[in-house]
Amino acid sequence: MIINKKLYKYIKNIIYSKEPNYLKRIRKKKYKNINKKEMSDLVQGRFLSFISKIKNPKNILEVGTLIGYSSLCLSEGLKKKGGLITIDKNKKFIKYARKNINKTKYKNKIKIIYGNALKIIPKLKIKFDIVFIDADKKNYINYFNLIFNKIRKNGIIIIDNVLWKGLIINKKKDKFTKIIHSFNKKLKKYNIENSIIPIRDGLNLIIKN
């Protein structure tokens, strides 16, 4: 977490966007071999929901499913006939996500695809309004390149972990910090507008021009 824990607790307490009960249960449940710090929390989840409700998208793509919490948050803003595609190459994550999603009203709106997103994304014949990338960091730039022409003009791209535990500003950077730092700098060459939201591990909120 990047910001002060007390301040973060304060933010949680003044978020008036109600989290549905099914999301509370997902967030509080213990999952074998899953670090809760890897998944979206209340603050990030309500932010994703908020952006989706503003955009009111027809199509959403998520790269990195984990247990389906963020998929469900993003689905809250979908158009009546809209849908979300989420991709993950971890069978365990897919199993958890499918079980969680199937218990909600969004089960027919969310399509879960098991496999390598680098191979799956090029085959998708859909233009997306929102893309959320939260998968293996070494392929962030590859995912971004693949989705960029599949997102509509004025579409929104959300990238998680862009401040990498606050380590991004250190002079001496470890392997993964260097990967994230390199990715952040490479985005300058794209025709985009963006803002960094310093919640959890940092979100890059991008609009495609």
pLDDT in tens, 17-72: 889 999 999 998 888 777 777 778 899 999 999 999 999 999 999 999 999 999 99
Placement of tokens 């879960």 in the chain: 112
The better pLDDT of the pair 198, 117 is held by 117
CA 12 to chain centre: 19
Q: Is residue 139 part of a domain?
A: yes
Residue 32 CB partners (closer than 8 Å, separation 6+)? none
User: What are the φ and ψ backbone dihedral angles of 5, each rounded to 5 degrees?
Assistant: -60, -35
Beta bridge partners of 194: 206
- State the pLDDT at residue 19: 92
What integer best gives the mean pLDDT of the chain?
Answer: 94
- State the pLDDT at residue 32: 78
Tens digit of each residue's pLDDT (9 = 90 or more) over 116-152? 999 999 999 999 999 999 999 999 999 999 999 999 9
**CATH number of the domain enclosing 122:** 3.40.50.150
- State the pLDDT at residue 34: 79
Q: Is residue 142 part of a domain?
A: yes
CA distance 160 to 137: 9
- State the pLDDT at residue 1: 59
Q: Is residue 23 part of a domain?
A: no
- State the pLDDT at residue 138: 95
- State the pLDDT at residue 77: 98
Q: For the chain, how many structural domains are there in total?
A: 1
Residue 151 CB partners (closer than 8 Å, separation 6+)? 127, 128, 129, 131, 157, 208
Q: Is residue 69 part of a domain?
A: yes
The better pLDDT of the pair 176, 112 is held by 112
In the sheet where 151-160 sits, what is the strand order?
110-114, 83-88, 59-63, 128-133, 151-160, 203-208, 192-197
Quote the domain boundaries for residue 131: 43-166
Q: Is residue 91 part of a domain?
A: yes
Q: Is residue 145 part of a domain?
A: yes
Q: Is residue 193 part of a domain?
A: no
The whole-model pTM stands at: 0.94
Q: Is residue 179 part of a domain?
A: no
- State the pLDDT at residue 141: 97
Residue 3 CB partners (closer than 8 Å, separation 6+)? 198, 199
- State the pLDDT at residue 129: 98
